[in-house]
Structure 1
């Protein structure tokens, strides 16, 4: 009798994230996960407890990676509006690049399971909170530099930008090209 196949849990969570991101929570079967991770069902359940527990870990990994990348893009040097335009443009490019147009895993999770899955909803809220905070900080920086009027409500603008990103990520899943999305970027940046 051979030894059970060893696997790296971090790599497994990354691979599971890709499956959940592509297929959604409900559309992902335990067999899909076993096939993607290259392990047996027993090992899957022993390591992660359940499909849902693995989904939560995958959503956390997505949240952490995406929020870190967003904050880093917004923190790059240069004028505030140029950084915002570049960051939003990169999201469009990313969303339109893949043939399956899978969008944002967190937005997809919110649409799919947030009404019935408080744990997933909480993870998505955390991601949106960090996103909104990063946008608010960018607006406040723009107010200090004079690029954005000081009298504007930075918290409201942070919420507006977060909502814009969520809408753009949904729109990108069905858009026939980047034009409409770039019009949204132009409108929102110009409105600041």
Structure 2
């Protein structure tokens, strides 16, 4: 009798994140996960409990890698509008270059599961809140630096920027090229 195949749960969550990100929650079968992780179904369920529990871990992994990276870009030194433009343009380039056109896993999850999956909705809501908080801090910094008019409501601008970011990530999934996305980025930066 052979020894059971050992696997790294952390690497398994990373692989699962890639599958869920590409196929969505409903589109991912347990067999897809077994194939991607290289383990048996029994090991999958023993290690993670359920497909949904693994999805939640994958969504948290996405938050801890991808979503945090955006916030770090926004917190870099330099002019506020230039940082915002750089972050939006980088996300657009990444989305357009992705052969799977996955977009943003949080946005995809909101579109697929909001209103039907309470825990996934709450995870995404917290990611959006965290991003919006970072955008508000960026706007307030821009106001202190004189780049953004001080009478503008920072909370409203942060919500507008979050909405723009979500829309761009979704738009990039179907865009034929970068032109429309570039126009949106130009318009939102000019509106500040």
TM-score range, shorter chain: over 0.9
- The residue aligned with 1:9 is 9
- The residue aligned with 1:190 is 190
Superposed CA RMSD = 0.7
5+ residue gaps, structure 2: none
Displacement of 1:66 after TM fit? 2.0
- The residue aligned with 1:86 is 86
- The residue aligned with 2:101 is 101
CA distance in 1, matches of 2:4, 2:124: 35
| SS of residue in 2 equivalent to 1:58 | helix
CA distance in 2, matches of 1:120, 1:42: 24
CA distance in 2, matches of 1:65, 1:123: 14
Aligned residues: 192
- The residue aligned with 2:47 is 47
- The residue aligned with 2:143 is 143
| SS of residue in 2 equivalent to 1:71 | helix
CA distance in 2, matches of 1:171, 1:71: 21
Structure 1 length normalisation: TM-score? 0.98
- The residue aligned with 2:77 is 77
Displacement of 1:67 after TM fit? 2.4
CA distance in 2, matches of 1:158, 1:99: 30
Structure 2 length normalisation: TM-score? 0.98
Displacement of 1:87 after TM fit? 0.4
